[in-house]
Each structure stands twice: as structure tokens, then as C-alpha cells.
Amino acid sequence: MMIKKIKQLLPTVAIIVITPHIDGEELFEVIKAGASGYLNREVNANELINVIRKAGSGEYPITDMFVSQPKVAGKVLYQFQQLAQGKEIEPFISPLTSREIEILNCMARGNSNKQIAVLLDVSEQTIKNQVTSIFRKLDANARTEAVWKGLERGIISFKLYPSLPISRKKSADSTGG
């Protein structure tokens, strides 16, 4: 779905889908993909402006559609219940991209944005943008919190990274002198 591709490239962009007819299954897929709004193309100008303003300020006017689509609301609630029970389900709420997971792993290893940029051969600003996206998706306010939530949710895990240098200082006792 194009929404996912756009959100991967521009995670802070609010997407509003305008469709020829309202469809419950399409609405559910649009929500999963990360859209902020979903409207019938017959929408009047004032309503469209209102939805654009809401989406632009970080709101999700898509929730207004649940009133007329109770089956979709039921599916969304079911997905949340599965999440709450810790069951394996298809990524649903703002899943991290593979690149964001890679960056989160680098953060977990203590790398700065500049170090991550060098490792991944991208600009430091690109890393800053992706770190901001990771914070938003994990509802974190700091790097440590993002790493903790990533570990807690099983997005990343502790493991030894053989490619990282390990500092081994020898003490006077171990050198025999």
C-alpha cells in the first residue's frame, strides 16, 4: 500500500485518504498503514479543511469514521486486545521500519547520531529524523526510553555484537609487573 511507503520515507507526514466510497475493510487497512484521515470524495470544502487542520496538528480525524463503521471499530478493538494479551499479531500500530530497527539497535549499543550516520552512510540529519520517528512510534521521549521500549516489546534484543571493539584493559597484576 502506498501509504506505508510514504510513511517510511516521510514518517511525520499526515496522510488523508479520499475515496470514491467508504468501505469498512479499506478503512481498516488504511488505519493499519498509518493514515490520519479517511474521507469520501463528496466531502464539502469546510469539512476537508477541518480534517486537514486536525491531521496537521497531530490528531487522527479518522476516528470519526468509527461511528458509521462499527465492524471496523470492532476489528481495531480486537487487535488492541490481542496486543494487551501479548499475543503475536501482525504489526499494527506504527510498526518500525527495518531501517528504524537498525537505528534503534545502534542506539542500544550507545552510538550517537553522528556515529550511526557514519555506520549507515547517511547524513546525520537523516538519522535525527528517523530517531524522532522512532520516539513517536514508541511513544518515547528519550533514547534510553526508546531502547527500553524496543527491548520490552521484543523489537530489539540484547546480544553480543562481535563487530564492535571490546576494550580490554590489562591491570598491573595480570601483566606480571
Give Cα separations from 66 to 19, 26, 72, 96, 144 (angstroms). Answer: 16, 13, 7, 25, 35
Q: Which domain holds residue 112?
A: 98-152
Query: How crowded is the C-beta side of 137, counted as CA atoms within 13 Å?
Result: 26
Q: Are residues 47 and 116 in the same domain?
A: no
Q: Are 142 and 132 in contact (CB under 8 A)?
A: no
Q: Are 39 and 20 in contact (CB under 8 A)?
A: no
Mind listing the pLDDT tens digit for each residue in 1-46?
Answer: 788 888 877 888 889 989 888 777 787 788 778 888 888 888 899 9
Q: Is the pLDDT of residue 172 over 60?
A: no
Mind listing the pLDDT tens digit for each residue in 85-143?
Answer: 655 444 554 478 889 999 999 999 899 999 999 999 999 999 999 999 999 888 889 99
Give the CATH number, domain containing residue 137.
Answer: 1.10.10.10
Q: Are residues 106 and 79 in the same domain?
A: no
Q: For position 55, what pLDDT does the model report?
A: 85
| Whole-angstrom distance, CA of residue 132 vs CA of residue 60 | 19
Give the CATH number, domain containing residue 75.
Answer: 3.40.50.2300
pTM of the entire predicted model:
0.44
Q: Are residues 109 and 147 in the same domain?
A: yes
Q: Are residues 19 and 71 in the same domain?
A: yes
Q: Are residues 63 and 122 in the same domain?
A: no
Q: Which of 49, 84, 119 is the last residue in one of the domains?
A: 84
Q: Are residues 116 and 80 in the same domain?
A: no
Q: For position 83, what pLDDT does the model report?
A: 62
Q: Are 36 and 55 in contact (CB under 8 A)?
A: yes
Q: Are residues 109 and 78 in the same domain?
A: no
